[in-house]
Amino acid sequence: MLDGRLEGRSEQVNGQNDAARNDPSRTMLGEVQEQWLYDGLRSSRAQWKLLGNQTMLGHLNEVTAAGASTNNWMDQWDGYPPARQRLYDVLKGDAVNPKVNNVVVCTGDWHNSFIMDLPEDPATTYAEGSGSLAVEYVTPSITSGFFGVSDLAPHSPHIKHHNDSAHGYQLLDITPQRVIGEEWQVDTVDAVSGVQTLAIAFETASGGNRLLPHTTGPTADKDNAPAPAPTG
């Protein structure tokens, strides 16, 4: 679990063209937490590494009315490119440290949902899943209002799903062989309701580090599952 709000975070820049945005001394996590994260990823013997994260890690480029690419979200990792690249360098590995596979980033606080591959640069290091280092699930809003986001597709091939109009939650079903991520959407948050719909699902195979559509329906309920959290 990461703290990208308080612990060592550099002040946000004023926009994508602010020269300070690419200053390598700026950090999302602070030096101590960064090193703790890198050491943990490199030393973990877990089959899957789930990273709890507060602001979107992946790139989010929008298209203006004039057709230009723009990025307006300096509060998230897009506002800290060198810090994000340091994390991606850990995932890639180097001459001393092996590549870190099977990382699933679980993100909140966006008021929209996104499901995406995580390449270094969607425009230059990514093609149909090739070049993805990990995957990210940004959960939908439970009750909060939605942010408007412009057209994404021409500049965001790594984003496989975006929802800015339905509340709900995401569910991960994990086995040693794969992670299936499901997005469930509810019909209303204005009244008690038992209506929910599986909107979309993706699967990541062990060692694949990329998303593929999962089309065989919802995952099965678990035997002896714990009781749901209280609702009162």
Compute the CA torsion angle 49, 52, 55, 56 (nearest 10 deg).
Answer: 30
Rounded-to-integer distance, Cα 50 and Cα 145, Å: 27
Q: How far apart are CA 11 and CA 13, in angstroms?
A: 7
- As to burial, measured by CB atoms within 10 angstroms (0-12 exposed, 13-18 middle, 19+ buried), residue 181 is buried
Residue at 207 is within a domain: no
221 found inside a domain: no
Does 225 reside within a domain?
A: no
pLDDT at 84: 98
How many structural domains are present in the chain?
1
Assigned domain for 212 exists = no
* Residue 149 confidence (pLDDT): 75
Mean pLDDT taken over the chain? 92
- Convert the pLDDT of each residue in 12-38 to its tens digit: 999 999 999 999 999 999 999 999 999
Quote the domain boundaries for residue 30.
19-168
Average pLDDT of the residues in 193-211: 97
| pLDDT given for residue 153 in this prediction | 58
Q: Is residue 99 part of a domain?
A: yes
199 belongs to a structural domain: no
| CA 74 – CA 59 distance, rounded (Å) | 11
The verdict on residue 5 lying in a domain is: no
Digit-coded pLDDT (tens) for 161-192: 999 999 999 999 999 999 999 999 999 999 99
Element (H, E) at 69: strand 69-70
Go through 131-154 and write b for each residue having 16 or more CB atoms within 10 A of its CB, e for each that does not: bbbbbbbbbbbeeeebeebeebee
pLDDT on residue 232 = 66
Q: What is the pLDDT of residues 85-141, one digit of tens each?
A: 999 999 999 999 999 999 999 999 888 999 999 999 998 889 888 999 999 999 999
**pLDDT above 70 for 194:** yes
**What predicted TM-score, i.e. pTM, was given to this entire model?**
0.94
Residue 14 lies in a domain: no
**Residue 150 pLDDT > 70, yes or no?**
no
